C-alpha cells in the first residue's frame, strides 16, 4: 500500500463520535453514547416544555416541534447509528437517503390524497337521493 493510500485510510476527519474501527476499549465510545443520550434527553425535555407552555407563540409550536424532531433524528443518526459521510459509509448514507425518499413519498402522497378526497367524492345530495 502506498503512503497516500495509507493516509487516506487513516484519515479521521469524517468519523462518527465514538467510532472505534479496531479497538473496543470502551472509554471514548461510552462517552460518545452518553453525550448522545444527554442530547436526546435534552431535546425531548425541550419538546415537552414547548408543547405545554404558554411562553411560546401558539402558531409556532408545530414548527418548533418539527425542528426539534429533525434535530433528534440527527443526534440518533450520528451518535447511535454512527452514520457519517466518510468513504467507508457510502452504502449507509445511500440506504439512509433512500429511506428518507420513501418516507417523503408516502407523506406527500398521503397529503395529496387527503387534500383531493372531497373532489373525488359524490355530493351529499346525490348520496341522500340514492338512499330513498
* Co-location of 92 and 131 in the same domain: yes
The model's pTM: 0.59
* Co-location of 74 and 53 in the same domain: yes
* Co-location of 79 and 95 in the same domain: no
- Please give the angle made by the CA atoms of 87, 93 and 96, to the nearest 5 degrees: 170
Structural domain boundaries, residue 22: 1-83
CA contacts within 13 A on the Cβ side of 114: 6
pLDDT tens column, 78-125 = 898 888 777 777 888 888 889 999 999 999 999 998 888 877 777 888
* Co-location of 79 and 108 in the same domain: no
Write the CB contacts of 89 (distance below 8 Å, at least 6 apart in sequence): 83
Amino acid at each position: 500500500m502506498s503512503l497516500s493510500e495509507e493516509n487516506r485510510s487513516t484519515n479521521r476527519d469524517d468519523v462518527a463520535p465514538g467510532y472505534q474501527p479496531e479497538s473496543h476499549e470502551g472509554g471514548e465510545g461510552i462517552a460518545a453514547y452518553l453525550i448522545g443520550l444527554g442530547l436526546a434527553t435534552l431535546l425531548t425535555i425541550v419538546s415537552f416544555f414547548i408543547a405545554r407552555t404558554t411562553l411560546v407563540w401558539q402558531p409556532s409550536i408545530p414548527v418548533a416541534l418539527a425542528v426539534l424532531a429533525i434535530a433528534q433524528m440527527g443526534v440518533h443518526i450520528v451518535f447511535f447509528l454512527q452514520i457519517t459521510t466518510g468513504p467507508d459509509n457510502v452504502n449507509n448514507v445511500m440506504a439512509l437517503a433512500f429511506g428518507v425518499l420513501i418516507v417523503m413519498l408516502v407523506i406527500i402522497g398521503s397529503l395529496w390524497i387527503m387534500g383531493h378526497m372531497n373532489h373525488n367524492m359524490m355530493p351529499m345530495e346525490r348520496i341522500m337521493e340514492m338512499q330513498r
